[in-house]
Structure 1
Amino acid sequence: MKNDSNRQKKKNGTTLAWLPVLALCAMAVAPAGAQLARKPSYYQQQNQPQPEGPAAQLVPRPAVPASLPALRSQGDFDTLARVYDAGTPMQLAHVLFAIDRQAKPARMHYIDTPRFQLHVRFLRDTRLTPNTVKREIDRNYLVPDRRFLFGTLSWQQNIGTFTYEFWEGDRLTVPLLREAEAQVKASFFAPVKFKTNSTLHERIAKEAGIDFVSQEALIREQPFLPMNLGTATGRVRIVNDASGLNALLPDDIAVLREVPINLPPVAGVLTERPSTALSHVNLLAKGWGIPNAYVRDAATVLKAHAGQWVALKVAASGYQLRRLSPEEIAALPPRAVRAAATGVLPGSKAAKPDLRETRLLPLASLRARHSVQCGSKAANLGAVLAAHIPSTTVPDGFCIPFAHYDRFMRSNGLAERIARMQQQPGFAGDPQVRQKALAQLRDEIVQWPVEPATAAAWRAAWQAQLGGGGVFVRSSSNSEDLPGFSGAGLYTTVPNVKTGDALELAVKKVWASVFNPEAWEARSAAGFGAESVLMGVFVQTAIDSTNAGVMITRDPFDAGHPHVTYISAKRGIGIRVVEGKRVAEQVMYSSWSKAIQVLSRSAEETALQLDKDGGVKEVPVEVGRHVLTDELVVRLAAVGAAVKRTFNAVDQDIEWATVGDKIVLLQARPYVERRR
């Protein structure tokens, strides 16, 4: 499909205007290929739906040799190349190669890639190694004295150069890489660079003195990154800054110039800045099952469609935006029906609270069953502590149960206040009216007095159990960290509280955050009535971490990769890791290939640390130093696997930090992903 802004397509007699955006190929690939800027796995390709109609008709290929010893022209390359995602930003033309090191001299085989698809097929079908068992083939990736070097040579359109690369799990050595470099450059017609696919490959390239392009550098040049695949129908709304978020409606497709920490329910999201898989916006998108993607210059590209109804599709290889016809707009279901589509997964609902428990419960006593008294966040952390995961700690704390919130709100007539608020003119239909009313209610809640005996009990537990030191006062409601509804970023955390008066105020701020506008909107879309939500509070010892982050115990871009752990990190306290404003350091570790792949490195010049007077402060940090070492990545992946086992093999979204040699665990919630 050509990018022509005047192009019109006719379908069933109706003229449909198409935006000149990134075309979708007939067969989409797994999104991990785009996220990792690498050739999609042919094994995955075999499991993808096959194209139908004209796209399925194979064009006969001229007779092509099984391999060539050299590629002396663009024509040679094109003859042997297979092309993934043709016509999209993810287009990748590539040729497999095998260097036979046993031949004297060593022999290069550039392989007819559409014909053989895999290195092993070439070896067997051409009788180079007709009877070799899989174990012997695998040695060619793992040992220095291997017979073959198996690689891929590709045209990288986003940087305008050819690269050659090896499987991420290939245990390359300096001599092997130097040999490959010499063979490729002697047999190829154009300049070519080594592309690294793991931190091991980067180290080997540096030791060998070989110029390379990193996976991270290629990802930075991509004009499109799919964060959550899916389709949506909605009205395009361009949001220039945070003030515009409050006007968003559930049937809007939000085009965000900044990546906010919170977002009300919408039909789809396109961001002008890349974020991470664990930004709150993306976790919400996954929980709601809506499409989400980074598109370079999105606001400019989509300006002509602002305020218009469109159909959006985000796929691994691109996105598609089509203006709806008047007939299609007229046929749309009512807004209430469309908004209901961003609800929770079937069977998920707010936990029914147990209000009989009024004691302050220490972390060591909490287990998963205490979620009905303290919320899943506090209860899950108690279960993690009880699991005694080696080389980890969990900062001590105590739970203020739902009963305290319920008693406080009842004594101040909350139910009646909510009823009056909802009866205000415009409250139901105007998000800005709701925003103003909810802000007023939060301000009132913070001013209401707490019973002296209750406040005294909080202070006593803080002094006796936690030594009266700095604490984080965190939300733990009955409407977050659920199997089908994460609630990420909806409620308030008050950091590094250091006095008794500040503790009382912080608890009320967390209680009041039940009425944060983003929490209200998300719960409304999920079907949680305001009367069903209660807030527990977890008071936890503050730690001044060196590094902090979040990890997911599977590949967030491809559910077919359970052996992958995704880790996102920044220096200092982890508040900024999920905010979305600055890209965190991101890596993926495979327990199968043992490879560590870098998606991005943190380039921040400052970090957050605890302030001696309370709260947090910004401090300068060494620029260019990696947050995650290989050793730490492997340890974190092992800890993540242990946490997953603790929760019956359900994939987890885990908040962690490091203090000295210890990995500190701060939260574990089910990883929620929904597709529609």
Structure 2
Amino acid sequence: MKNQNNARPVGASCFQNNSVTAFCVAAAIAMLAALPAAAQLARKPSYYQQQNQPQPEGPAAQLVPRPAVPSSLPALRSQADFDQLARVYDAGTPMQLAHVLFVIDRQAKPPRMYYIDTPRYQLHVRFLRDTRLAPSTVKREIDRNYLVPDRRFLFGTLSWQQNIGSFTYEFWEGDKLTAPLLRQAEQQVRASFFGPVKFKTNSTLHERVAKETGIDFVSQEALIREQPFLPMNLGTATGRVRIVDDDAGINALLPDDIAVLRQVPIGLPPVAAVLTERPSTALSHVNLLAKGWGIPNAYVRDAAAVLKEHAGQWVALKVASSGYQVRRLTPEEVAALPPRAVRTAAAGAVPGSSRAIKPDLRENRLLPLASLRARNSAQCGVKAANLGAMQAAHIPGTSVPDGFCIPFAHYDRFMRANGLADRIARMQQQPGFASDPKVRQKALAQLRDEIVQWPVDAATAAGWRAAWQSQLGGGGVFVRSSSNSEDLPGFSGAGLYTTVPNVKTGDALEVAVEKVWASVFNPEAWEARTAAGFGAESVLMGVFVQTAIDSANAGVMITRDPFDAGHPHITYISAKRGIGIRVVEGRRVAEQVMYSSWSKAIQVLSRSAEDTALQLDKDGGVKEVPVEAGRNVLTDDLVVRLASVGAAVKRTFNGVDQDIEWATVGDRIVLLQARPYVERRR
């Protein structure tokens, strides 16, 4: 990337002497058809995804006339043959994908291969229709060629995978491929193609069939690992590039910074955009925060080195499905930027999010899980109320660990007794508090330290211990936040507040509640709320004390495709062995899959390679234990069950897409949290 004012995608060759070549015009047209999901999945969009995609028409389609080519070829005997029939997605970008559709007519004697003029026909069915190869192209007949073993046709795609330097052939992820069908495809492709080629699997079914036949394959997961760029949240931003090497740099970030992160942190203050040097899951706290703030967010290989020349400079950033662009602002553009306060307000404002739930401070009782419903969000927060609603829904095959809510009134009484409002006012009046994040962090840390030292009313603490003993049997518990400023439709608050795991004594319970209360003043929580328009005085913390479970696996799922909102039939699931704390922290990549309730396909984005997991410690807290490396966390059966449970949870909350924390204990799926899935773009 050169230091110039022309926007330039990384890896592009289209900008030569500040001019745009004819090839690049054609490439730009091709890029219009790109889909975010295709970029994430390192594959050509499927037949079904493409059938409604608009195609270039009119003068734009005629900018680069194509030479006359045959409608198909029985073999590709050279690179030139491949090139003349290929369609190219995202040309000149890290996501470039040149591919040729093919059809194998199994009814012909001998079976016949057709490599299709892909720019002309776009879809297999169009080729069949226009060449009159098939007597019927009605949907029911075409579907048979994806779903049944005795089909007439095999519909596939042969692609050049630039990130691994190899040709691959593949089938739609929902194709019910069998071993005999794959053997036939392997024989036909190898006999008719000029170079080495590997089978590419697009589902767990395809992987099993490939292993059964002994055919060498490359997995979707392996290709994703080699991608130099992964868009997590699309959008544009203007800001100053800040390369961050450690936690101190994280804490110093400002709302108008474009953060280039060497590591994926657990928390992050509001910023203008995020580029990470290490890939993470779609449900890491950083990615959820970025989606909630509506800011561009992407993984870029060697991001710090690539963007080093822009460090400290004002730039315009665009993250698209096919790549990203960085343009240095001119001095005139920098001078014309609005004041920081205006930029910060525009970046952080989330419609409706500044309306924290109005607390009902009349309720002083400790409310058991069984009594909680949506109406109790005014006393206990949305997190606790949603847990009660999920338990009441009686979703088959699931449970919610028992617990009780310490309502907002306890927090309010405690803070009033210790003069919190005056302390906050004095803190905010400190020199530099409003302008210097380091000053804020120091002041907030001092306040948190004070809060956990303030004594709790003896009768109140005794009530907590009594409920813990009588309702939960005095066993280990997780002490969790449930404030009036999280899990809201426009503000998730993911990762902002503290959870204290596996508390096992009455004294430790009292301290844990105070730690959760004090986490209202975590720096990332303060910054995120300020950006979203929450006043400090409007935030109250409820606490949910919940039975600790020692799960075999745990994770998070979203009831839609987080990469493409147009795929509501998708469930995205991330998982790790043991307790699920690490799934959302973002420092280690979890196992990730996507399940389609429509195609019934399970697509693997990543497998967990960890050799340790977190489990409950008998003395309290959690411990790291060794586990068998290389074993899959998610079985196909568990994925399908989780997707069904996710759909039921979504119905419980009136059809609103949900971000759900889950775990497994034996054969049972345990539900630990459900919040609205928040996504914005700007």
Which amino acid in 2 is paired with 1:37? A
Question: Hey, what does 1:68 align to over in structure 2?
Answer: 73
Question: Hey, what does 1:251 align to over in structure 2?
Answer: 256
Question: Hey, what does 1:12 align to over in structure 2?
Answer: none
Q: Does 1:387 align with 2:393?
A: yes
Question: Hey, what does 2:314 align to over in structure 1?
Answer: 309
Note the C-alpha offset of 1:58. 3.3
Which amino acid in 2 is paired with 1:382? G
Q: Does 1:149 align with 2:154?
A: yes
Q: State the distance in 2 between where 1:397 and 1:444 align.
A: 28
Question: Hey, what does 1:209 align to over in structure 2?
Answer: 214
Question: Hey, what does 2:120 align to over in structure 1?
Answer: 115
The worse-fitting range, judged by mean Cα deviation, of 49-58 and 531-540 is 49-58
- Verify the 8 A CA contact 1:657 1:664 in the aligned structure 2: yes
CA RMSD of aligned residues (A): 1.5
Is the partner of 2:223 in helix, strand or coil? helix
- Verify the 8 A CA contact 2:9 2:93 in the aligned structure 1: no
Structure 1 unaligned runs (5+)? 9-15
Q: State the distance in 2 between where 1:571 and 1:319 align.
A: 34
Question: Given the alignment, which residue of 493, 497, 501 partners 2:499?
Answer: 493
Q: Does 1:84 align with 2:89?
A: yes
Deviation digits for residues 117-169 of structure 1, max 9, x if unmatched? 10111111101114332111100101110000000000000000100000000
Question: Given the alignment, which residue of 128, 135, 139 partners 2:140?
Answer: 135
CA distance 1:42–1:291, shift in 2 (3 Å): farther
Q: State the distance in 1 between where 2:637 and 2:50 align.
A: 33
Which amino acid in 2 is paired with 1:323? R
In percent, how many aligned pairs have the same letter? 88
CA distance 1:307–1:625, shift in 2 (3 Å): same
Which amino acid in 1 is paired with 2:181? L
Question: Hey, what does 1:522 align to over in structure 2?
Answer: 528
Is the partner of 1:76 in helix, strand or coil? helix
Q: Does 1:158 align with 2:147?
A: no
Deviation digits for residues 64-122 of structure 1, max 9, x if unmatched? 11111100001110111101000001111100000000000000000111111101111
Q: Does 1:292 align with 2:297?
A: yes
Which amino acid in 2 is paired with 1:118? L
CA distance 1:45–1:268, shift in 2 (3 Å): farther
Q: State the distance in 1 between where 2:641 and 2:667 align.
A: 11
Which amino acid in 2 is paired with 1:547? N
Which amino acid in 1 is paired with 2:246? D
Question: Hey, what does 1:221 align to over in structure 2?
Answer: 226
- Verify the 8 A CA contact 1:609 1:617 in the aligned structure 2: yes
- Verify the 8 A CA contact 1:287 1:344 in the aligned structure 2: no
- Verify the 8 A CA contact 1:588 1:597 in the aligned structure 2: yes
Which amino acid in 1 is paired with 2:408? F
Question: Hey, what does 1:637 align to over in structure 2?
Answer: 643
Note the C-alpha offset of 1:347. 2.6
Is the partner of 1:587 in helix, strand or coil? strand
Is the partner of 1:577 in helix, strand or coil? helix
Compute the TM-score of the two structures, normalised by the length of structure 2.
0.96
Deviation digits for residues 230-256 of structure 1, max 9, x if unmatched? 000000000001121111000000000
Question: Hey, what does 1:655 align to over in structure 2?
Answer: 661
Question: Given the alignment, which residue of 333, 355, 360 partners 1:354?
Answer: 360
Is the partner of 1:283 in helix, strand or coil? helix
Q: State the distance in 2 between where 1:364 and 1:238 align.
A: 48
CA distance 1:20–1:561, shift in 2 (3 Å): closer
Which amino acid in 1 is paired with 2:310? H
Is the partner of 2:584 in helix, strand or coil? coil
Which amino acid in 2 is paired with 1:58? L
Q: Does 1:537 align with 2:548?
A: no
Is the partner of 2:351 in helix, strand or coil? coil
Between Structure 1 and Structure 2, how many residues are aligned?
Answer: 665
Structure 2 unaligned runs (5+)? 15-26
Matches within 5 A, 1:545-556: 545-556=551-562
Q: Does 1:169 align with 2:174?
A: yes
Which amino acid in 2 is paired with 1:385? Q
Q: State the distance in 1 between where 2:55 and 2:126 align.
A: 21
Q: State the distance in 2 between where 1:371 and 1:20 align.
A: 46
Which amino acid in 1 is paired with 2:510? E
Q: State the distance in 2 between where 1:116 and 1:213 align.
A: 27
Question: Hey, what does 1:562 align to over in structure 2?
Answer: 568
Question: Hey, what does 1:398 align to over in structure 2?
Answer: 404
Compute the TM-score of the two structures, normalised by the length of structure 1.
0.96
Note the C-alpha offset of 1:60. 1.5
Is the partner of 1:176 in helix, strand or coil? helix
CA distance 1:389–1:282, shift in 2 (3 Å): same
Is the partner of 1:104 in helix, strand or coil? coil
Which amino acid in 2 is paired with 1:437? A
Is the partner of 2:338 in helix, strand or coil? coil
Q: State the distance in 1 between where 2:179 and 2:139 align.
A: 25
Q: State the distance in 2 between where 1:19 and 1:245 align.
A: 28
Note the C-alpha offset of 1:44. 5.0
- Verify the 8 A CA contact 1:551 1:640 in the aligned structure 2: yes
Question: Hey, what does 2:329 align to over in structure 1?
Answer: 324
Question: Given the alignment, which residue of 414, 418, 423 partners 2:420?
Answer: 414
Question: Hey, what does 1:628 align to over in structure 2?
Answer: 634
Question: Hey, what does 2:268 align to over in structure 1?
Answer: 263
Q: State the distance in 1 between where 2:98 and 2:559 align.
A: 32
Which amino acid in 2 is paired with 1:127? R
Note the C-alpha offset of 1:19. 6.5
Is the partner of 1:153 in helix, strand or coil? strand
